[in-house]
Every structure is written in structure tokens, then in C-alpha cells.
């Protein structure tokens, strides 16, 4: 346990000027270096670009842009969304520190989503051509990327099931459980956290209206599963929440 306070200061401590390499990054255990040997991480390090932080609502890339890089979230959070031909906007994912986005661009050489910062966020950019090179040389790297891509497929299929077969309560509980778990993975509290996204984004992601999201939040609070203060969430009964999620995932 790195922190016992409700809200970790992870994102506050020298957010954008931490020592600029993967080896010393505190996310290395869950981010790309995860799968690499010490000396391989050095090679990864050489191709990672760390730019200025993104401001809230700033776009990292836009749907249809030429695909050149994938990105890792170092601090903050990013949402990805696509616009259907019908003009409907669909949030396809939320990305927290240590998570990789942009891989949807590989197939068509264009991003299939837009990516937008939900708060001030530091992002690592990794040119994909360099990753291809590296993957050709380092079997670990290739293997890891195959895995990453595959996991995103499984993640998306889970979400398909969620949208197709589960109620509003199940969907929201599922999201809360997911965020809780991802926080825990980063050694943050699983029970007290701030949702980086708006109710609108949550609703859009879960295929619900903002009103329904709000009502379900209120119901959960009334039932004593959580305590809400705007975006601050205190999980009072994670097991009940998991039960509601029905493990809808």
C-alpha cells in the first residue's frame, strides 16, 4: 500500500516532470514495461515521446486523423469516442493512468475514435512504426502487443454484453466496480475516488440517458451501496455492488 489516504496524491506529485523514462515511472508495473526485461525497457524508453500535458477537453487525436502513434496515459484521464454515420456520439472507453489507447487506428491507418482529455493529463506518445520495429526484434514486445490488442477486443465484447443484456443498475454498478478495480491496480483506494467523467459521458458510455444515470446513482446511495458527492464516490459496500453488477462483466 503506497497510500492510505482517501485520495492519493499520485496525480499531484510532479505530474509532468517526473523523471522522464519508463524504468523509473511508477506506472511501469502496469503499463507497457510490464512485459519487458530490464534491457528491453531501455529500448522502449528511446522511442517514447513525452510532450506537454493536455488541458481539460483538449483532443489528443481526432477520428479520421492519420494514425501514427499509440498513447499511454501517465496522469489524468482520457475518453475515446466515435461518431456514427447517423451522427450519434458514442463513448467507447475511458483510459486511466497506465492504460494504452489509440490501437483502433492500426487497422485503417486512421484513428477510429477521437480522444479527449477529461482533466489535465500527461500522455506518453509511442510511434507505432517504432513499435513494429521493436516487436520484430523483441519477441516479448510482439507478444505483449498481441495481448494488448486481444484484451481490448475482450473488453469491448464485455461491453457489448453489458449493453445488450444488462439493466441500467447492472451497467452502472459494473462501471463503478471496474473503476474501483483499476484504481486498486494503481495502489489507489478502491473505495474512495473521484470519477473523472461527467454524468453525460457515463450515460453515453453505458447507453443510458443522463437522467437514468442520475436516478440509479441516487438509488444506490439510498440503498447504502455508495455515497456520492458530485463526482466523489465513496463505496460503502463493494460486494453488494459486485452482486448488482451480477458480475455483468
Partner DNA sequence: CGGGCTAATTGACATAAATCAATTAGGCCT
Partner DNA sequence: AGGCCTAATTGATTTATGTCAATTAGCCCG
| 240 binding a copy of itself? (CB under 8 A) | no
| 214 binding DNA? (CB under 7 A) | yes
| 248 binding a copy of itself? (CB under 8 A) | yes
| 184 binding a copy of itself? (CB under 8 A) | no
Indicate the angle between helix axes 128-137 and 139-165, nearest 10 degrees: 120
Whether 195 contacts 231, CB under 8 Å:
yes
Q: Of the candidates 211, 224, 227, 247, which one interacts with DNA according to CB under 7 A?
A: 211
Q: Shortest distance, CB of residue 10 to DNA, whole angstroms?
A: 21
C-beta closer to DNA: residue 30 or 168: 168
Instruction: Return d(Cα 235, Cα 189) in angstroms, integer.
Output: 10
> Alpha-carbon torsion 99, 101, 107, 109, what sign?
negative
Whether 114 contacts 57, CB under 8 Å:
no
Residue 169 binding: pick among DNA, a copy of itself, none (C-beta 5-8 Å cut-off by kind): DNA
Residue 3 binding: pick among DNA, a copy of itself, none (C-beta 5-8 Å cut-off by kind): none
Q: Shortest distance, CB of residue 230 to DNA, whole angstroms?
A: 6
Alpha helix segments (H runs only) across the chain:
38-47, 128-137, 139-165, 168-185, 199-206, 210-222, 238-245
Query: Dihedral through CA 216, CA 219, CA 220, CA 224, nearest 10?
Result: 170
C-beta closer to a copy of itself: residue 26 or 166: 166
Whether 63 contacts 111, CB under 8 Å:
yes
Q: Give 231's contacts (C-beta < 8 A, 6+ positions apart).
A: 194, 195, 196
Three-state DSSP state, 232: strand
| 227 binding DNA? (CB under 7 A) | no
Q: Of the candidates 86, 222, 229, 230, which one interacts with a copy of itself according to CB under 8 A?
A: 86
Q: Of the candidates 200, 224, 243, 247, which one interacts with DNA according to CB under 7 A?
A: 200
Residue 129 binding: pick among a copy of itself, DNA, none (C-beta 5-8 Å cut-off by kind): none
Taking CB under 8 A as the binding criterion, the range among 9-17, 42-50, 52-60, 88-96 that sits at the site for a copy of itself is 88-96
| 168 binding DNA? (CB under 7 A) | yes
Cell numbers for 116: 479527449
Please give the residue ranges that form the binding site for a copy of itself (CB under 8 A).
82, 84-86, 88, 90, 92, 103-108, 112-113, 132, 135-136, 139, 142-143, 145-154, 156-166, 170, 204, 206-207, 246-249
Amino acid at each position: 500500500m503506497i497510500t492510505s489516504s482517501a485520495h492519493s496524491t499520485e496525480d499531484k506529485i510532479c505530474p509532468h516532470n517526473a523523471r522522464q523514462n519508463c524504468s523509473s515511472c511508477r506506472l511501469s508495473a502496469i503499463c507497457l514495461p510490464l512485459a519487458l526485461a530490464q534491457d528491453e525497457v531501455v529500448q522502449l524508453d528511446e522511442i517514447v515521446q513525452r510532450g506537454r500535458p493536455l488541458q481539460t477537453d483538449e483532443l489528443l487525436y481526432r477520428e479520421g486523423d492519420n494514425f501514427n502513434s499509440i498513447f499511454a496515459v501517465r496522469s489524468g484521464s482520457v475518453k475515446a469516442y466515435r461518431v456514427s454515420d447517423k451522427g450519434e456520439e458514442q463513448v467507447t472507453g475511458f483510459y486511466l493512468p497506465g492504460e494504452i489507447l489509440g490501437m483502433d487506428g492500426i487497422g485503417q491507418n486512421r484513428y477510429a475514435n477521437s480522444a479527449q482529455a477529461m482533466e489535465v493529463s500527461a500522455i506518453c506518445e509511442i510511434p507505432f512504426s517504432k513499435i513494429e520495429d521493436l516487436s520484430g526484434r523483441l519477441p516479448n514486445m510482439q507478444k505483449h502487443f498481441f495481448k494488448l490488442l486481444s484484451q481490448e477486443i475482450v473488453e469491448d465484447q464485455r461491453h457489448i454484453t453489458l449493453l445488450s443484456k444488462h439493466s441500467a443498475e447492472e451497467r452502472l454498478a459494473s462501471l463503478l466496480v471496474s473503476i474501483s478495480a483499476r484504481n486498486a491496480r494503481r495502489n489507489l483506494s478502491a473505495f474512495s475516488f473521484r470519477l473523472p467523467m461527467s454524468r453525460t459521458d457515463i450515460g453515453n458510455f453505458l447507453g443510458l440517458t443522463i437522467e437514468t444515470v442520475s436516478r440509479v446513482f441516487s438509488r444506490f446511495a439510498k440503498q447504502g451501496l455508495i455515497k456520492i458527492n458530485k463526482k466523489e464516490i465513496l463505496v460503502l459496500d463493494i460486494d453488494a455492488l459486485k452482486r448488482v453488477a451480477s458480475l455483468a462483466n
